[in-house]
Structure 1
Amino acid sequence: MNKFGVMLGHSYVSKLKSKSFIITSIIMLIGVLILGNMNRIIDLFSGGDSKEKIVVLDQTDSVFQSFQKQLQVTNKDIELIKESKSEAELQKAVNAGDYDGLITISMDQSNLPEATYKAPTLTNTELSSQLSQALQAVKSDMAASQLDLTADKLALLNSPIVFKEVSLENNAKSSEELAQARGLVYILLFVIYFSVIFYASSVGMEVATEKASRVMEILISSASPTQQMFAKIIGAALLGITQMAVLLLVAYFTIKQNLSELKGGFFEVFGFSDIKVSTIIYAIVFFLLGYLLYATLAAFLGSLVSRIEDAQQMMLPMTFLIMIGFFIAMSGLNNPSAGFVTVTSYIPFFTPMLMFLRVGMLDLPMWVGLSGVAVLIVSIIIMASIGARIYRGGVLMYGKSNSLKNIKKALQLSKNK
């Protein structure tokens, strides 16, 4: 047990001090800080005068004022400038950078306004959309005037239908709560997916590296291969927990510092304004169990190869399993109660993401979430038992070995050892 503790500490500390871990952590921290301070960064780069200048050629001589008034209601950051020069001259002014765009307004056959928008590039779709919406409102008012419709009748005509959604199940989430839960689960699914695939793959790569450098021959003479395997798996898990804890702490203090600016919008839509403790607990539990399952698989797959370049190919099936589970979870976001989501959530390799999807978005009894945990624990025990035997024989195999057929050979070697 003392040897196991020494190996565990060495595995954890060596990875903690590695350049790849430090650089990756710094990049992630920078990303968190940028996202948390996005509003301030946008304000910093926007400068003092951030208005878009649009020159207007009003060939009707009657639409500009209404257009300008309507746009001021929807967006005050767009400045309309009326000019009477020729269209060719105004196009040159736009290309010269004097204006951000040119909009030419004329009348159609129904004596209603139509417009052509010209700009150096059409990449700013938000700007053109806002101009179009403002002109649409002007056109609606003019059409109502032609049809002798009062303002009240026009408002009644344009008012949206009242469409309520009511769930008949007790304690079921409303559509607004589901939308928030969907955003939060979406982000946490990405965290689980990338964390599991990154940390689990690192275990397999470490084993392959030790075999390639012949360090494995020294290690197996001082401790059993089984102890080595679990020391690497648990060491990488502790490393992942450390990295996630640092990121979550930085994210928490960043959000707390910018809480007044982050209220509503993205912050509210993605469910961060009302995070349930149970959702975070489930995310941590399924992340850890998913990691342990895939890390065990990666460890014995990595033990089957003797060259680092063969490790990625050997672990390709594992990567595909994680990707399939992630894609099923993404397709189930809009309907987490679908039959295919329920069934596949009990397939061990898909359980970490799919069961989390279900418990995160649906009001399910506690036993459902615990059943997913139980499936993973049993699968991990079985995988660890089989994986330890394969690992015990696999670390003794050298030469070209990049086929899953070597599992049988590794099992035979473990029996003879």
Structure 2
Amino acid sequence: MREFWIIFKQAFSTKAKTKSFIITTAIMIAAIFLFSNLSKIIDTVQSVTGGGDSEETLQVIDTSGVLADRLNGQFSANETGITVELSDQSEQALTKKVKEGDIDSFLTLALDDTKTIQANYTTMSAIDFNLPRVIQDALQSIQTELKAEGLSLSGEQVQTLFSPIQFEQKNVSLSAKSEEELNQARVLVYVLMFVIYIAVILYSSMIATEVATEKSSRVMEILISSVSPVKHMFAKVLGIGSLGLAQIVLYGIAGFIAMKTASTDIPGGFTDFFSFSDISTGTLVYAVIFFLLGYFLYATLAALLGSLVSRTEDVQQMIMPMTMLIVAAFIIAMTGLGDPELGYLQIASYIPFFAPLVMFLRVGMLDLPLWEPLLSIAIMLVTIFLLGWFGARVYRGGVLMYGPSRSLKDIKKAIQLGKE
């Protein structure tokens, strides 16, 4: 076991000390804090530049003589920060000012014979969406008031027209969750699926590249003379896997601190969106289990494939089939975020290469019977054992193979070489 732990420590420490690993980790942590505090940063910049509390003046041509005052009242009541300024200039003159950049936009208002508001908003900006929406909402309210006045309806009568119906949804399914639980589960499942997907691709590729690098530098010949190839393979898988887990835990701690420091009193904000207070402990446990199983499944396969190539340039080509499996699993799981009860998801959740993402999706969003995730876990454990047994046989001969790689056809040759 001494040789195993030496290789384990070497795989962990060597990668942890590389500049690329340190820089990537630092950038990711900085990005987490930046993203979580984005609203604070925007508010700070606006307050410094004086744009946070400044009012916007809207030039209005009102041929009706009554709409401009009502519009200004709506803006004041809704605290939009927009002030209406009646203009005595013609529409052509204001259009010229917009084109020359003297004003940002203007609005023309009129009433037709049916007391329906006719509004035209003129601007040069291609991304001016917020102000027109605010104006349209205010004018819609004014339109309702005008129609109510025409029908001699009181304010209370108008309110009754817009009274919402009493609608309650009742689900008698044993796997059903409340809407709030489902929304929080959907966010958590999406985040953790993305973490599993990226981690499996990143660290599996790292293992394959590490094995190929040692072969290309002829270090492998020295290593296998003092330690068995099987020990070497699993030491690499566990060493880089532990490094990956440490990095993800570091990201998790940074994310937790970032959310705490970014907490605001605004409901529906960032921290509310990513609040997992109602998520069950079982879901988090399943997240860890399926992450570890998914990693070891693909990492063992990556080590097997990496042992077949002699040049690091061939690694990506060799692990391409494995990458396509991960991508397919991610796409299948993503299609189930809206409806996790789809039939093909149930089938895919028992296929070992899809199960880490698909079964976690189902167990995170549905209250499944205990036997379903346990059966999927058992299938994955058996697959990992068989893949480890087969991978050890291939790895034993693959690390001794040199020359150009002929893709997956070299597996048979590696097994025969390992027997010798």
| TM-score bucket (shorter structure) | over 0.9
Task: Answer yes or no: is 1:41 the counterpart of 2:45.
Answer: no
Alignment partner, residue 14 of structure 1: 14
Q: 1:77 to 1:373 in 2, by over 3 A?
A: farther
2:225 to 201, 209, 221: 221
1:157 to 161, 170, 180: 161
The whole-number CA distance in structure 2 between the counterparts of 1:253 and 1:270 is: 13
Shift of 1:178: 1.2
Q: 1:184 to 1:58 in 2, by over 3 A?
A: farther
Q: Which runs of 5+ in 1 are unaligned?
A: none
The whole-number CA distance in structure 2 between the counterparts of 1:77 and 1:236 is: 55
Alignment partner, residue 358 of structure 2: 354
Alpha-carbon displacement from aligned partner over 1:211-240 (angstroms, at most 9, x marks no partner): 222222222223221111111111111111
Q: 1:291 to 1:127 in 2, by over 3 A?
A: farther
RMSD: 2.1
Q: Which runs of 5+ in 2 are unaligned?
A: none
* Counterpart contact for 1:52–1:100, Cα < 8 Å: no
* Counterpart contact for 1:294–1:318, Cα < 8 Å: yes
**Secondary structure at the counterpart of residue 326 of structure 2:** helix
The whole-number CA distance in structure 1 between the counterparts of 2:320 and 2:280 is: 36
* Counterpart contact for 1:314–1:402, Cα < 8 Å: no
Shift of 1:342: 1.1
Alpha-carbon displacement from aligned partner over 1:366-395 (angstroms, at most 9, x marks no partner): 333322222221111111111111111111
The whole-number CA distance in structure 2 between the counterparts of 1:396 and 1:109 is: 90
For structure 1, which segment, 322-331 or 142-151, has the greater mean C-alpha deviation from structure 2 after superposition?
A: 142-151
Shift of 1:321: 0.7
* Counterpart contact for 2:174–2:367, Cα < 8 Å: no
* Counterpart contact for 2:7–2:232, Cα < 8 Å: yes
**Secondary structure at the counterpart of residue 81 of structure 1:** strand
The whole-number CA distance in structure 2 between the counterparts of 1:77 and 1:289 is: 54
2:286 to 278, 282, 285: 282
* Counterpart contact for 2:36–2:270, Cα < 8 Å: no
Q: 1:53 to 1:180 in 2, by over 3 A?
A: farther
Shift of 1:246: 1.2
Matches within 5 A, 1:231-246: 231-246=235-250
* Counterpart contact for 1:184–1:271, Cα < 8 Å: no
Q: 1:178 to 1:308 in 2, by over 3 A?
A: same
Task: Give the alignment's TM-score, normalised by structure 1.
Answer: 0.93
Alpha-carbon displacement from aligned partner over 1:218-274 (angstroms, at most 9, x marks no partner): 222232211111111111111111111111111112222233446533433444343
Shift of 1:96: 5.5
1:331 to 335, 344, 347: 335
* Counterpart contact for 1:57–1:84, Cα < 8 Å: yes
Q: 1:40 to 1:368 in 2, by over 3 A?
A: same
Shift of 1:37: 1.1
Matches within 5 A, 1:308-323: 308-323=312-327
**Which residue identity lines up with residue 41 of structure 2 in the other structure?**
I
Shift of 1:40: 1.0
Q: 1:108 to 1:193 in 2, by over 3 A?
A: farther
Matches within 5 A, 1:141-220: 141-170=145-174, 172-220=176-224
Q: 1:375 to 1:261 in 2, by over 3 A?
A: farther
* Counterpart contact for 1:182–1:270, Cα < 8 Å: no
Q: 1:75 to 1:355 in 2, by over 3 A?
A: farther
**Secondary structure at the counterpart of residue 153 of structure 2:** coil
**Secondary structure at the counterpart of residue 126 of structure 2:** coil
Alignment partner, residue 127 of structure 1: 131
Task: Answer yes or no: is 1:407 the counterpart of 2:411.
Answer: yes
Q: 1:134 to 1:412 in 2, by over 3 A?
A: same
Matches within 5 A, 1:21-40: 21-40=21-40
For structure 1, which segment, 9-18 or 256-265, has the greater mean C-alpha deviation from structure 2 after superposition?
A: 256-265
Equivalent pairs, count: 416
**Which residue identity lines up with residue 288 of structure 1 in the other structure?**
L
Q: 1:77 to 1:187 in 2, by over 3 A?
A: farther
**Secondary structure at the counterpart of residue 352 of structure 2:** coil
Shift of 1:207: 1.4
**Secondary structure at the counterpart of residue 259 of structure 1:** coil
Shift of 1:56: 2.4
Alignment partner, residue 73 of structure 2: 69
* Counterpart contact for 1:54–1:80, Cα < 8 Å: yes
Alignment partner, residue 373 of structure 1: 377
Task: Answer yes or no: is 1:85 the counterpart of 2:89.
Answer: yes
* Counterpart contact for 2:8–2:239, Cα < 8 Å: yes
**Secondary structure at the counterpart of residue 271 of structure 2:** helix
Alpha-carbon displacement from aligned partner over 1:38-61 (angstroms, at most 9, x marks no partner): 221111222233344433222322
For structure 1, which segment, 193-202 or 79-88, has the greater mean C-alpha deviation from structure 2 after superposition?
A: 79-88
Shift of 1:17: 0.5
Shift of 1:311: 1.0
For structure 1, which segment, 10-19 or 190-199, has the greater mean C-alpha deviation from structure 2 after superposition?
A: 190-199
